[in-house]
Structure formats: structure tokens, C-alpha cells
């Protein structure tokens, strides 16, 4: 009897969408509790998630504004990593400037009384539905474009849902090759900068309701702005990530970038609106220090690999010449610094940062911890996937590397 394939794509689409909506229900209509309880306001929730014309305008306008900044602001042109056919694509790197212009414009508009930022909190449900419909539609366009655009390899699986979910093209661009890069743009711009604007909206809502912005709210916002700014500061490094190099651009990344990231990463700020006395200054200070350690690991590990890849012969790590393993593939694998302690310590640092944002909210609700919990799962599966890819790429050399660097993510533990 033929084996029935588990409908992974279908399950993921339903589950991921449901999770995002449920978290909103939990935080706004269920007293920040995860499990439904007697006072749950389901009817309020269903009324709130009806998308409005204004919410659509805001979503589409924001996307278009970010696209205009990407096209029009001065940019550094950087070559991507080689594609399977050996060619390279050029990318416009101007995310840091786009972030500064966007946040500056938003804050100026708020100060001038033109942008009622607290609206983002009040209309969060309508925005969530508008962004969801937008991302489902964009993924449909990308599926079609991946198949019909002239040139470039498209992956066909014969199943519409699988193609829709995983995408058909690796680097869909309009026009092809030289034009607007949908994946690189969506991976960074509208979602990441939009997340910070949503954070600002939560702070504005707190200010509107209580006449102050709490220390924990400031800390969450500052740490998240620093995280996103660091991302854009190192924007060219994103070209080396698995998403850009290996993943086709379909629903999975589109929904992640445009809905899941902005609408769930702002949940700590959302929670803090009404729980601003939970965290003492001492606690906030301790959590910021913990975040700093995570940062040092995250940025340090990524930089070490990047410096090594750029110039393996002259790279020094922690004061000593970098140690590496030669591979049949012609490239070398770094085995000193963070990369000698575990194979993915960059994931550990990134996760500590995510956890610190949750810790700033105290322990009153699981919902602000959704991001670190989900991120842990994502990083664990990502590490396994990268391990599989690397064993295919490097063959026996990967085995030698694993024998030398035993731990996957946390030295001595995992
Ligand atoms: P990595 O940056 O760890 O890249 C993995 C690749 O690096 C491998 O495929 C391999 O590719 C190369 N590599 C692995 N080990 C070595 C070594 N010892 N020496 C030299 N090269 C090596 O993975 P990601 O792209 O997943 O992550 C990049 C960053 O993005 C991470 O810091 C991660 O935490 C972050 N991230 C953040 C997410 C978020 O939502 N906030 C989501 C996912 C990632 P090759 O040899 O072909 O170069």
C-alpha cells in the first residue's frame, strides 16, 4: 500500500495562523492567560479581528513606503553568495538608513500629533487580519511569479499547497535578476521595522492610559531597537543566512516575515501596557546584563565566522590565528573561537536575547514567552536541518568536524 504523506504544508499554514490569532486573543481578551477561562471575551475578539479599510491601507501603505525607501535611498551594492549556476545577484544594502528614516518619520509624526500611535494597539486585531490577508495574497503572487517569470530555476513538486507553502523560486525578483528582490526585502524591512513601530504603539497606549511609560517598557523597546539596528548594521551578512541561500520564497517565509515577526515579537510590549509595575529596577538591570551576554555571544560568533570566511589565512580569533579544517569542497571549517566550543553558539546568543525580552515582563503570563519558546523550537530544528545540509555539502569532512566540535548549540549540555 502506498505510504500516505503527512500534509505538512497544510498543517503548518493552519497552525501558524491560528497561533498568531490565539496569542492576540490571549493577551487582549483573556487577561493575558494562555488557557481560555470564564471571563474570556470571545465576542470582543471576533469583533476586533474584522479587517477594516483603514487597516488595509496602513498595511499596504507601510509595505509600499518601505519598498520606496529600499529603491530610492542611497545604497551600497553587494554581491550575494554564488548561486547553484555560479552566478551572483546584486543586492541594495540600505536597511539601516531605511530604519532611521522610518522611525524618525514615525516619531516626528507622533510628536506633531499627526500619527496617533496608540491606534496600532486599539486596532491590532484589524491590522492582524489585514496583514494576514496581504501575506496570503503575496504568497499566491510569488507562487505564480516563480512559475511564470522568464528565466531562473523554479522548483515544482506537483502539489499546489506544497509549492505555495515552500515557494517556487529561490530569489523571485521583479523584473527578473536585476529587479526588486522580494525575499531579501521582506526578510528585513516591512516586518522588522514594523515590529518596532508596533512597540512604539504599545508605549503610546500605555502613556495614553497611565500617563507614563514604564521602565520595563523602555527597556523592551530599547533592547529591541538595538537588536533590529544591529541586524541592519550587518545587513550584508544576511546574504549568508540559510533563508537567503537555501530557502525558496513561499508562504512559510512570507507569513513569518510579514505577520508572525511583527505581530508576535511585540507581545512583550503589549503585555507591559497593563503590567508595568511587575518589574523592579534591579530586575530590569539584571535582565539587561543577561541580554548583553547573549549579545556578545550572538554578535561575536557571527563576526568570527564572517571574518574567517573573508580572509581565512589572516584571521585572528581571541588573540590567536584561527584554526580550521580543510575540506574536499575547497572551503575550510572554522574550529576555534565560538565555533570550536559548539557548532551553533550564535543560536545560543540569539536565544538568550529573545529570552531576556520575556524576562522583562516578569512571570505573570506565558504569552510574552511565546517568542523565546517558539524561537528555541525554530533554532533546534534549524540546527538539525543545517546539519543535514552540511553533511550533504561536506560529506566525510563534516563528520570529522563534528568529531572535533561535539556540541550542537550549548557547550557541555547539548
Ligand atoms: P549560520 O550563520 O550558523 O550559518 C550556517 C552555515 O555556516 C552552514 O550552512 C555552513 O555553510 C557555514 N558553517 C557552519 N559551520 C561552520 C564553520 N565551523 N566554519 C565555517 N563555516 C561554517 O546559520 P543561520 O543562517 O541559520 O543563522 C544566521 C544568524 O541568524 C544566526 O545568528 C541566527 O541566530 C540568526 N537567525 C535569526 C532568526 C530570527 O528570526 N531572529 C531566524 C534564523 C536565524 P557554508 O559552509 O556553505 O558557508
* Ligand 1, atom 37, residue with closest C-alpha: 350
Distance 140 CA to ligand 1 centre (A): 29
Average the pLDDT over 2-25 and give the result. 89
Is 40 in the same domain as 96? yes
Cβ 305 under 6 angstroms from ligand 1:
yes
Structural domain including 91 reads: 1-277
Cβ 408 under 6 angstroms from ligand 1:
no
Last residue of a domain, one of 218, 249, 277: 277
Cβ 149 under 6 angstroms from ligand 1:
no
Whether the per-residue pLDDT at 3 is higher than 70: the answer is no
- In which region does residue 29 sit, left (phi positive, over 0), alpha (psi from -120 to 50) or beta (all else)? alpha
Average the pLDDT over 64-80 and give the result. 96
Atom of ligand 1 nearest to the CA of 240: 25
* Ligand 1, atom 1, residue with closest C-alpha: 241
Is 293 in the same domain as 228? no
In this predicted model, what pLDDT tens digit does every residue of 294-334 receive, in sequence order? 999 999 999 999 889 888 888 889 988 888 888 888 888 99
Average the pLDDT over 6-16 and give the result. 91
Is 317 in the same domain as 247? no
Whether the per-residue pLDDT at 335 is higher than 70: the answer is yes
Cβ 264 under 6 angstroms from ligand 1:
no
pLDDT at 311: 87
Last residue of a domain, one of 277, 312, 341: 277
Cβ 334 under 6 angstroms from ligand 1:
yes
> Ligand 1: which of 350, 373, 375, 394 to mutate, most ligand atoms within 8 Å of CB?
350
**pLDDT-based confidence at 122, cuts 50/70/90?**
very high
Last residue of a domain, one of 227, 256, 277: 277
In the chain, the number of structural domains is 2
Is 231 in the same domain as 315? no
251-290 in b/e form (b: 16+ CB < 10 A) is bbbbbbbbbbbbbbbbbbbbbbbebbebbeeebbeebeee
Average the pLDDT over 268-280 and give the result. 87
Average the pLDDT over 77-105 and give the result. 92
Is 355 in the same domain as 211? no
Distance 163 CA to ligand 1 centre (A): 25
Is 205 in the same domain as 287? no
Is 330 in the same domain as 241? no
What is the model's pTM? Answer: 0.90
Distance 258 CA to ligand 1 centre (A): 22
Is 54 in the same domain as 146? yes
CA 86 from centre of chain:
28
**pLDDT-based confidence at 82, cuts 50/70/90?**
confident
Is 264 in the same domain as 323? no
Is 267 in the same domain as 359? no
Distance 186 CA to ligand 1 centre (A): 19
* Ligand 1, atom 33, residue with closest C-alpha: 347
Q: What percent of the chain has pLDDT over 90?
A: 71
Average pLDDT, the chain: 92
In this predicted model, what pLDDT tens digit does every residue of 384-406 receive, in sequence order? 988 998 998 888 899 999 999 99
Cβ 199 under 6 angstroms from ligand 1:
no
Which contacts of 180-184 are long-range, i.e. CB under 8 A and separated by 24 or more positions?
180/67, 180/70, 180/71, 181/89, 181/91, 182/142, 182/249, 183/243, 183/244, 183/249, 183/253, 184/91, 184/238, 184/239, 184/244
Is 386 in the same domain as 271? no
Is 247 in the same domain as 294? no
Cβ 350 under 6 angstroms from ligand 1:
yes
Amino acid at each position: 500500500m502506498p505510504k500516505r504523506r503527512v500534509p505538512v504544508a497544510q498543517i503548518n499554514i493552519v497552525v501558524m495562523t491560528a497561533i498568531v490569532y490565539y496569542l492576540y486573543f490571549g493577551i487582549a481578551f483573556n487577561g493575558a492567560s494562555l488557557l481560555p477561562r470564564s471571563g474570556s471575551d470571545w465576542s470582543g475578539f471576533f469583533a476586533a479581528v474584522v479587517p477594516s479599510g483603514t487597516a488595509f491601507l496602513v498595511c499596504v501603505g507601510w509595505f509600499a513606503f518601505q519598498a520606496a525607501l529600499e529603491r530610492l535611498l542611497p545604497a551600497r551594492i553587494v554581491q550575494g553568495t554564488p548561486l547553484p549556476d555560479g552566478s551572483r545577484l546584486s543586492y541594495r544594502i540600505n536597511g539601516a538608513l531605511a530604519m532611521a528614516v522610518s522611525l524618525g518619520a514615525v516619531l516626528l509624526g507622533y510628536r506633531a500629533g499627526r500619527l496617533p500611535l496608540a491606534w496600532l494597539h486599539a486596532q491590532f486585531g484589524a491590522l492582524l487580519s489585514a496583514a494576514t490577508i496581504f501575506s496570503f495574497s503575496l504568497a499566491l503572487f510569488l507562487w505564480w511569479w516563480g512559475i511564470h517569470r522568464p528565466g531562473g530555476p523554479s522548483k515544482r513538486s506537483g502539489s499546489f499547497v506544497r509549492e505555495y507553502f515552500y515557494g517556487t523560486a529561490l530569489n523571485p525578483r521583479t523584473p527578473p535578476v536585476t529587479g526588486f528582490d522580494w525575499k531579501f526585502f521582506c526578510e528585513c524591512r516591512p516586518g522588522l521595522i514594523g515590529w518596532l513601530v508596533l512597540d512604539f504603539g504599545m508605549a503610546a497606549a500605555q502613556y495614553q492610559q497611565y500617563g507614563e511609560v514604564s521602565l520595563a517598557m523602555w527597556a523592551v523597546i530599547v533592547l529591541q531597537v538595538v537588536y533590529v539596528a544591529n541586524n541592519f548594521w550587518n545587513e550584508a551578512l544576511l546574504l549568508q543566512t540559510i533563508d537567503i541561500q537555501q530557502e525558496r520564497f513561499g508562504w512559510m517565509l512570507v507569513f513569518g516575515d510579514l505577520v508572525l515577526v511583527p505581530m508576535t515579537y511585540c507581545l512583550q510590549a503589549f503585555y507591559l501596557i497593563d503590567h508595568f509595575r511587575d518589574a523592579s529596577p534591579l530586575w530590569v538591570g539584571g535582565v539587561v546584563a543577561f541580554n548583553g551576554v547573549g549579545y556578545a555571544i550572538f554578535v561575536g560568533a557571527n563576526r568570527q565566522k564572517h571574518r574567517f570566511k573573508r580572509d581565512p589565512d589572516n584571521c585572528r580569533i581571541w588573540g590567536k590565528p584561527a584554526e580550521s579544517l580543510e575540506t574536499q569542497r575547497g572551503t575550510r571549517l572554522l574550529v576555534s573561537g565560538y565555533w570550536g566550543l559548539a557548532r551553533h553558539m550564535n543560536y545560543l546568543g540569539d536565544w538568550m536575547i529573545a529570552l531576556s525580552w520575556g524576562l522583562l515582563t516578569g512571570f505573570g503570563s506565558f504569552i510574552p514567552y511565546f517568542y523565546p519558546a517558539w524561537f528555541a523550537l525554530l533554532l533546534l530544528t534549524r540546527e538539525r536541518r543545517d546539519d543535514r545540509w552540511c553533511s550533504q555539502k561536506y560529506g566525510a569532512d563534516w563528520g570529522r568536524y563534528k568529531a572535533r566540535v561535539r556540541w550542537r548549540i550549548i557547550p557541555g549540555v547539548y
